[in-house]
Amino acid sequence: MKGLIYIEIKKVEEGIIPIYESDNKEKLINARELFYALKGKNTKTKFADWIKERLIKYKFVENIDYICFRKITKANKYGNKTTKEYFLSNY
């Protein structure tokens, strides 16, 4: 498929907000995990709205400050269900 980039991300530290490492050794945190750590699981705020606001407010630049990709969460006979994942870098 055109435009696909493969990146491997693995968890390297547990904690309130786990730390991940990309295949090029960059430390990352999962924005969705950060969101739930800050807001709680029962928040009425949508993650998609929250992350979009933060990306604009702090002028984050894709592939520098964060990476974004679609993650398949469930496959069924009608197709794949995906979520948009954001991993924030430490730069």
Which pTM was predicted? 0.82
| Residue 2 maps to a domain | no
pLDDT value for 1:
45
| Residue 47 maps to a domain | yes
* CA–CA gap between residue 82 and residue 79 (Å, rounded): 10
| Residue 28 maps to a domain | yes
Is 3 a residue whose pLDDT tops 50? yes
* CA–CA gap between residue 22 and residue 7 (Å, rounded): 7
* CA–CA gap between residue 72 and residue 37 (Å, rounded): 23
Is 90 a residue whose pLDDT tops 90? no
Domain count, the chain: 1
User: Minimal CA–CA distance to 67: which of 19, 35, 26?
Assistant: 26
Residue 3: which region, alpha, beta or left (left: phi > 0; alpha: psi -120 to 50)? left
pLDDT value for 81:
82
pLDDT tens digits along 39-87? 988 889 999 999 999 999 999 999 999 999 888 777 777 778 888 999 9
